[in-house]
Amino acid sequence: MIPQKLNPEDEIRIIAPSSSLTRVRPDIYDSAFTFLKDKGFNITFSKNCRETNMFLSSSIRSRVDDIHEAFADKNVKAVMACIGGFNANEILPYLDYELIRANPKILCGYSDITALLNAVYAKTGLVTYHAPHLAALGFLNEREYTEKYFSECIMSDASFAVTPSVASQSYTVIQKGKCEGEIIGGNLCTLNLLQGTPYMPEIENRVLFLEDDNIMGDYFVCEFDRNLQSLLQISGADTIRGIVFGRFDESCKMTEDIVKAIVKDKVSPDIPIVFGVDFGHVFPMFSFPIGGRVRLSVNNSIDLKIIEH
């Protein structure tokens, strides 16, 4: 189920399903708000998005109420997280998925919002969007690139090819091959929180889009390695059709050789795998649909195309 695309003058409701809006720096907030207003959108805020507790978030009830209100409001056409955080998975058992299914609309964010995006897709079949949250739209790093793919993914029905940003320069071939399939993924360590719950989407025959943030310091590579292994031990993971790894922050020290060593013996050598694609905790970023479809061809060059979103 694909929600109606966003148009200028549509209302975007900003919510805080993880950390509070108060965590967004004032200059970043101003930049993002101005950017969205200049695009012609009507920006509104959920009533509890500035509530803050000891976990830099708000109560489960406040967050759930805000999400339900946003989906029930016929004037709201898109629901955008204000920022990521650490505890979006807390709210998953309390959401009214029938309400969400009955009122399909764009839901977007990334990082910790990975839990919400994949859970909503798993429980309702609604395609959600791994795309900039409010704070991410406030950063100026090649913002034209971020804007281009936000528009192509969320404001248009047409398929679109993904090409490297100036920051990325080029994507890296890890394994050659071709595939087409539905996308699941996002932030790896957050996605793994859904394992064994009703909120984990099916992994069979999917194409994985995976990234992670460096919160482990010098142990990042080891942590990413074991997190990927955990995901690939889920029943059905041996049928995945391809993997697209995001672009990692320089502090992660992820290289082509390290990625090749990580995937060796974990997946079939016949599936396409690419590394350094413009999404994750980096800027700029492209937007992609959780539950949408991708076509990936990896040979001496990389052809990555979002064909259903």
Nearest-angstrom CA–CA distance, 99 and 55: 28
H helices, E strands: number in the chain = 8, 14
pLDDT of 217 reads 76
248 versus 115: the higher-pLDDT residue is 115
**Cα distance between the two ends of the chain:** 9
**What is the CATH code for 160-308?**
3.50.30.60
Query: Which CATH number is 11-140's, of 3.30.70.870, 3.20.20.70, 1.10.3470.10, 3.40.50.10740?
Result: 3.40.50.10740
For the chain, give every domain's residue range. Answer: 11-140, 160-308
Nearest-angstrom CA–CA distance, 116 and 100: 12
Would you call the peptide bond into 104 cis, given omega within 30 degrees of 0 as the criterion?
A: no
Q: What is the pTM of this model?
A: 0.96
The string of pLDDT tens digits covering residues 268-277 is: 999 999 999 9
The sign of the dihedral angle between the CA atoms of 182, 187, 193, 198 is negative
Q: Would you list the DSSP string of 13-64?
A: EEE-SSS-GGGS-HHHHHHHHHHHHHTT-EEEE-TTTT---TTSS--HHHHH
Catalytic residues: 111, 211, 281
Coil, strand or helix: which one is 307?
Answer: strand
The string of pLDDT tens digits covering residues 116-150 is: 999 999 999 999 999 999 999 999 888 999 999 99
Nearest-angstrom CA–CA distance, 107 and 126: 9
